[in-house]
Amino acid sequence: MGFLDNTSITVDAILTKKGRELLARGQNEFKITKFALADDEVDYNLYDTAHPNGSNFYAAVIENMPLLEAFVDENQLMRYKLTTLPKETNKLPILELPSPSLTFNGAGITQAVTPNTRNAPNETYTFTLFNADVANISLTGGGNVRKEQDFINAGATTPVFMNEAERKRSISVVGKSVRVISRSLTTLTNTNLSVTGNSSGAQFTVAISVKADPSKV
């Protein structure tokens, strides 16, 4: 990792690990169809409305901050993407859920997850369970299961940040609401359920904890 000289305009383009993987398969899966912008390096707390030289200098520190050069781990790069919203928008979409966490006291217990997006039109959601060995998810209001190939065909990888092991164990569905069903485990195990609004881009992560099945302890 290094810093780019921000005194000139630089386009630093590389392939991520996922891009290299798709290209190496040789199955015509590597197709660049979209792009995204992000502001990972920007600390907006440095926007100084009390600058003695006036409003032209409020963002002087931000504009002179060094930029990180591109690197290949897509799980660590562009984590804070910019969002396109209608021009008249004055409130950002906020994804709301009844609880930030779910706890299961054993196997075969079902809990519903029904999100709502405030300040945005009615939308569907992508639910991604990081570890399908801990629990299962099923749709309650229609939709479809999405596997890794579906995201590839759509021109994107998974919509959340996961390491390679989590990606292989994950499962995603698209719909309005899901049921989370705990599996039978020999020890307390934790995972996450990521919820992403498909129109607004708003995200929320639910922590899931499944306790050991008493019959296996």
How far apart CA 193 and CA 116 sit, in angstroms, is 15
Decide which of 82, 116, 139 is a domain's last residue. Answer: 82
How far apart CA 130 and CA 105 sit, in angstroms, is 19
In a domain, 69, yes or no: yes
In a domain, 163, yes or no: yes
In a domain, 88, yes or no: no
Considering the domain architecture, whether residues 23 and 103 belong to the same structural domain is answered as no
How far apart CA 90 and CA 68 sit, in angstroms, is 31
**Phi-psi region at 209: left, alpha or beta (left = phi > 0; alpha = psi -120 to 50):** beta
Nearest alpha carbon to residue 35 among 84, 69, 71: 84
Nearest alpha carbon to residue 113 among 7, 12, 8, 194: 194
Domain that holds residue 1: 1-82
In a domain, 10, yes or no: yes
In a domain, 89, yes or no: no
Q: What is the pLDDT of residue 188?
A: 95
Considering the domain architecture, whether residues 108 and 212 belong to the same structural domain is answered as yes
Considering the domain architecture, whether residues 104 and 13 belong to the same structural domain is answered as no
How far apart CA 211 and CA 175 sit, in angstroms, is 27
Considering the domain architecture, whether residues 178 and 153 belong to the same structural domain is answered as yes
Cα 6 to chain centroid distance, Å, stands at 28
In a domain, 158, yes or no: yes
pLDDT digits (tens, 9 = 90+) for 69-125: 777 776 677 777 777 777 888 888 899 998 999 999 999 999 999 999 998 778 889
What CATH number is given to the structural domain containing 148?
2.60.40.1080
pLDDT digits (tens, 9 = 90+) for 131-183: 999 999 998 865 555 554 454 444 334 456 666 677 778 888 888 999 999 99
Considering the domain architecture, whether residues 205 and 107 belong to the same structural domain is answered as yes
In a domain, 5, yes or no: yes
Considering the domain architecture, whether residues 78 and 98 belong to the same structural domain is answered as no
The residue written with tokens 């002179």 in the block is 64
- The set of residues, in sequence order, having a beta carbon less than 8 Å from that of 114 and lying 6+ positions away, is 97, 98, 140, 176, 177
Considering the domain architecture, whether residues 76 and 105 belong to the same structural domain is answered as no
**Quick check: pTM over 0.85?**
no
> What is the strand order of the sheet 178-182 is part of?
110-113, 178-182, 135-139
Q: What is the pLDDT of residue 143?
A: 55
pLDDT digits (tens, 9 = 90+) for 3-40: 666 667 677 778 887 788 888 888 888 888 877 788 88
How far apart CA 174 and CA 198 sit, in angstroms, is 9
Decide which of 60, 82, 104 is a domain's last residue. Answer: 82
In a domain, 187, yes or no: yes
- The set of residues, in sequence order, having a beta carbon less than 8 Å from that of 43 and lying 6+ positions away, is 62, 65
How many separate domains does the chain show?
2
Decide which of 25, 59, 82 is a domain's last residue. Answer: 82
HSE-CB for 83 with a 13 A CA cutoff: 18
| The Cα angle at residue 117 between residues 112 and 120, in degrees rounded to 5 | 155
Strand ranges (E), the chain = 3-4, 67-68, 94-96, 101-104, 110-113, 116-118, 125-129, 135-139, 143-146, 171-175, 178-182, 189-197, 203-210
Q: What is the pLDDT of residue 57?
A: 92
Q: What is the DSSP letter of 56?
A: G
Considering the domain architecture, whether residues 17 and 48 belong to the same structural domain is answered as yes
